[in-house]
Amino acid sequence: MNRCVHGCAGLFTDPDLSLAAELRRLVLDLDRMPDGLVERVQTTLDGAHGAHHDVADPPIFRY
Amino acid sequence: MAESTGSGGMPWEGLEGHDLHAACLTAARAGDRRAMNRLVAELSPLVWHVARGNGLDAHAAEDVVQTVWLTLLRRIGEVGEPRALAAWLITTTRREALRAGRRAEALTLTDDVADAAAGAHPPPEDVVLRAERDRSLWRAFRGLSTRCQELLRLTVLAGKAEYRYVADALGMPHGSIGPTRSRCLARMRELLSASRPDPTEGQA
């Protein structure tokens, strides 16, 4: 339900909506995952595969 | 079972949530590196926020993210139910966070982060006010239980339409996510109110 009577352009008068908006900012902005981490993980996994390709456990990746 | 709907022939195209995870995991088990890369891109924010929610500082959380994915690579055949991959990652991340043992004793919002969050070039007084507000927000959030922090982080990541994924991942009844979230927000509001100065103070 839209609780903004006169529009929601950045003005949250409902305390629940205001706190939810601040929480979103905290999670998605202030404490977001560092840029480049996904790429670093993918590189690490590629390296791990290369280092252990003779071990039966890891799958042999292909593109 | 997932069906391929995309033009690129990747069986996970067009899928979302558990279906996407299951299709990618199945393909990764068969050796498809693109599938593993997709999982890393899709689920690393989840791993990151679980690590942070369990008290790790940013540096330790990065290490844990790496470790969790390496663990999945080593044990990719041991994840029982492919659709439960998110739950498996959460459990593994919690375990690794405990093992890391580097609790963020002074886990505070740094000035750098506060400045970055304040926008490109706001007036200096706005920067100060916003940084202080962010610190209050951060203190209140860190005052919540680990369970509340995890749940709030994951519900933000998933969005309201996907609460069922959060419930599955956290092993909670679907219907309890909303009420639990409300209680956690209420507690956060209390902490936030307690940490913010009384605006009437100093007047009159």
ipTM of the complex as predicted? 0.73
CB atoms within 10 A of CB B61: 29
For chain A, say whether B52 makes contact (Cβ under 8 Å): yes
Query: Which helix or strand (DSSP H or E) is residue B54 part of?
Result: none
Last residue within a domain, chosen from B100, B135, B150: B100
Q: Is A62 in a helix, a strand, or coil?
A: strand
The pTM is what? 0.75
Nearest Cα residue to B50 out of B152, B159, B197, B150:
B150
- In degrees, rounded to 5, the angle at the alpha carbon of residue B88 between the alpha carbons of residues B82 and B92 is 150
Question: For residue range B135-179, what is the model confidence (pLDDT) as tens digits?
Answer: 899 999 999 999 999 999 999 998 877 888 889 888 899 999 999
CA separation for the pair B22, B83 (Å, rounded):
5
Backbone angles phi, psi at B103, to 5 degrees: -65, 140
Question: For residue range B44-95, what is the model confidence (pLDDT) as tens digits?
Answer: 999 999 999 998 999 999 999 999 999 999 999 888 888 889 999 999 999 9
Query: What is the longest distance spanned by two Cα atoms in chain A?
Result: 65
Which residues between 81 and 110 in chain B have a beta carbon less than 8 angstroms from any beta carbon of chain A?
Answer: 109
Which residues between 147 and 176 in chain B have a beta carbon less than 8 angstroms from any beta carbon of chain A?
Answer: 152-153, 156-157
- Among A23, A58, A62, select the one facing B73 at the smallest CB separation: A58
Residue B52 falls inside a structural domain: yes
Last residue within a domain, chosen from B67, B100, B133: B100
Last residue within a domain, chosen from B80, B100, B120: B100
